Structure 1
Amino acid sequence: MRNAVIAATGLYTPPHSLSNAELVATFNAYVERFNAANAEAIAAGEVEALTPSSEAFIEKASGIKSRYVMDKSGLVDPEVMRPIIPERPNEEISILAEIAVAAAEQAIAAWGKPASRIDAVICAASNMQRAYPAMAIEVQQALGVDGFAYDMNVACSSATFGIKTAADYIATGSARAVLMVNPEITSGHLNFRDRDSHFIFGDVATAVIVEAADEAAPGQGWDVIGTRLKTVFSNNIRNNFGFLNRAAPEGIGAKDKLFVQEGRKVFREVVPMVSEMIVDHAAELGLDPTALKRLWLHQANINMNELIGKRVLGREPAPGENVIILDEFANTSSAGSIIAFHKANDGFAAGETGLICSFGAGYSAGTVFVRKR
């Protein structure tokens, strides 16, 4: 079997940054208007008054200070509170494909080989723009890639599931190189009127090229030394929007048709599941988890990431060991661990190891141990 290498990565960052202060100002304006409009019902106990948000609340709960978004105008308007992204004609490239291509082109440039060397494209993301044709096939066409392409949705774990799948294609000889892209316009499925989650997500796109080790440039990239996937069904993170909602128009726009979660339950259940999975997988590979040089975890929230890092390393992580990009990017679903890896993989000597790990709705989790070549 052929060994796989993460040969290159790419990152597309949207043009607009939205700060906590801007988000809070919009949310609180909405709260004030709602409470005023429903004052009599609130006084009678028929309607529950909404509670304002604050920058301190957001940062304490998540570690997030800002996020990038594809559209800012709708998100700072208390009358709209959703991104305004016009639908495009079929003849024009879809917006999800467009940002995936931008990240892919950056990865291909870093790779230093033509796109024609890629044999497969996987678009792995939490929410696809449409059911079909696959976003991945549109990306494939835009890049001039031969071979095959398809979409994969495992929510926040989509990237690690995609890397595992790509590595398997390499191992079986099905492909020489696989492009895996993670376009995430998460602002489109976030309820900006929900105090507990209005701050969580940001938009971004990432790309990873996984290549056969015997075709990779000497010393370039990272050997994939082990991959593992895990799923456990849970309703604690859910999005019920789908094509069947058309049968019940009154349901469109209801809270459960956007991102919803039971945050405390997720924390209690996912942290031990992921921590144990990492430690067990490391032991199976003959690795000492406490000796990992760097962790590139899914950027869920600061408290989850810090606790998982502490459990895996057996101590408080030193600065830079457990990479955090939440403050700038927020939670970007499947792309978070890849952003962390892309922006903070320097300083490694050949043979040193690190971990790319994701976890999210499903529940789903994926671990990818890598060694610098």
Structure 2
Amino acid sequence: MSAVPDRRAAVIAGLGCHLPPDVVTNDDLTRRLDTSDEWIRTRTGIATRHVVAPGVATSDLAVEAGRRALDSAGGGADAVVLATTTPDRPCPATAPDVAARLGLGQVAAFDVSAVCSGFLYGLATAAGLIASGTAGRVLLIAADAFTTIVDPADRGTAVIFADGAGAVVLRAGDPAEPGAVGRVVLGSDGALSGLIEVPAGGSRQRSSRTAAAPGEEFFRMAGREVYRQAVGHMVASSRLAAEAAGWNGPGDADRFAAHQANARILGTAAGELGIPPERRLSNIEHVGNTGAASLPVLLAQAAAEGTLAAGHLLLLTAFGGGLSWGATALVWPDVKPC
């Protein structure tokens, strides 16, 4: 009887992020929107956000974050997974271009689309590539130039969304070592896809042979219902992830990293999970909601600041369009972001 191969886990070995240098403050937004700094802060928790300059695309952000993650890991990768809602073009995928620009050669490279849950969907995908033996090292990048699909005149979304990229390098390793990715809890509900959408630009609108209605090229979100769905699904998936990791519950987490959607959502979800404020990682005040990039940017910044350290029990969760959501729990490794 042939021997059963040892199980291979995907282990976090490198970390990096990149935010575009241009910063938009709340005061900047008040010059063109019927809003105020106080209104934005109290409803979103955001004071500033980074935005791409004209001509800067998602791939530009992804390349910089990917390069930093590769430097952090001290090596290359034989596959690239890019989680994004804002690809450079509808076709082809953006990941092959990113891989080429990073000098990785003709490696496997493809995009994953799960909106703000993209990093966790990408993490599960990258872990699967490693577990199956398809790849030994995977560069997972989450990048969004989200402001390119937001209506600048929409107070409900223009104050929230921003641009950025974060990346991790995953290598084959042992399931018991720090940084090993275990079960990633994932879910979706397409029956509610209209709560978060860009109505125009896809095959449904194009096949109608009619021009899109004004504003349908922009991102739309039903804020109140999204809030309810986000809290419910992030809490439920976090509990499942903690159980899968063998914890007593989410309260075992030393650090809680949730997609930086909105300060109110984060506070409510963490409260329902029994995670006290001092264990919650957050950068939303100065970064805003960067879509799929939110979680890896948060991890890179927290690791650089020392608020996330080796040995911490880390609980990750996200919610996004689709509807889609996910969570996972792991022991944070000794990795230094670049």
For the criterion TM > 0.5, the same-fold answer is yes
SS in 2 for 1:128: coil
Match of 2:297 in 1: 339
Q: Give % identity.
A: 28
The 1-side partners of 2:149 and 2:95 are apart by: 20
Residue 2 of structure 1 contacts residue 213 of structure 1 at CA under 8 Å; is this kept in 2?
Answer: yes
Q: Does the CA contact (< 8 Å) of 2:11 and 2:171 recur in 1? A: yes
- Spell out, residue by residue over 1:94-132, the C-alpha distance to the aligned partner (whole angstroms, 9 max, x if none): 83222211111111111112x2xx111111112212122
The CA deviation at 1:243 is 4.4
Could you tell me which residue of structure 2 aligns to residue 40 of structure 1?
none
Partner of 2:185: 228
Query: How many angstroms apart in 2 are the aligned matches of 1:273 and 1:58?
Result: 25
Aligned residues of 1:225 and 1:371 also touching (Cα < 8 A)? no
SS at match of 2:281: coil
TM-score of the aligned structures, taking structure 2 as reference length? 0.88
Report the structure number with the largest CA radius of gyration. Answer: 1
RMSD value, Cα: 2.1
- Aligned equivalent of 2:47, options 57, 61, 65: 65
Between 346-355 and 274-283, the greater mean CA deviation after superposition: 346-355
Residue pair 1:238, 1:256 contacting (<8 A) in 2 also = no
Choose the corresponding residue for 1:23, options 26, 29, 32: 29
Give 1:318-357 correspondences, 5 Å limit: 318-319=277-278, 321-345=279-303, 346=306, 351-357=311-317
Q: Are the structure 2 counterparts of residues 152 and 291 from structure 1 closer, same or farther at C-alpha, using a change threshold of 3 Å?
A: same
Report which structure shows greater RCO (CA 8 Å, sep ≥6): 2
Instruction: Show the counterpart of 1:35.
Output: none
For residue 300 of structure 1, report the CA deviation from its aligned partner. 0.4
Match of 1:206, SS state, is strand
For 2:11 and 2:38, locate their aligned partners in 1 and report how far apart those are by CA, in whole Å: 42
Question: How far apart are 1:280 and its partner, in Å?
Answer: 2.2
Contact 2:18–2:297 (CA<8 Å) still a contact in 1?
no
CA distance in 1, matches of 2:42, 2:246: 37
Partner of 2:258: 297
In the alignment of these two chains, the number of paired residues is: 319
In structure 2, the gaps of 5 or more residues are 1-6, 334-338
Corresponding residue number in structure 1 for 2:4 = none
Task: State the partner residue of 1:3.
Answer: 9
TM-score scaled to structure 1, two decimals?
Answer: 0.80
Report what 1:142 is aligned to. Answer: 101
- For residues 237-293 of structure 1, give each alpha carbon's deviation from its aligned partner in whole angstroms, at most 9, with x where no partner exists: 1111314445656425x2332111111111122211220111122123311311100
Aligned counterpart, 2:173? 213
Instruction: Give the distance between the partners of 1:348 and 1:121, measured in 2 at CA.
Output: 25
Give the match's secondary structure for 2:328.
strand
Distance in 2 of aligned mates of 1:338 and 1:349? 15
Matches within 5 A, 1:1-373: 1-27=7-33, 52-71=34-53, 85-86=54-55, 95-113=57-75, 115=76, 118-145=77-104, 146-213=106-173, 222-233=179-190, 234=192, 235-244=194-203, 245=205, 250-251=211-212, 254-288=214-248, 289-312=250-273, 314=274, 317-319=276-278, 321-345=279-303, 346=306, 351-373=311-333
Deviations 1:275-329 (A, max 9, x none): 01111221233113111000111000000001111112x25x232x111111111
Would the alpha carbon gap of residues 305 and 2 (structure 1) be closer, same or farther in structure 2, given more than 3 Å must change? Answer: same
Q: Which amino acid aligns with 2:63?
A: V
Contact 2:80–2:139 (8 Å) recurs in 1: yes
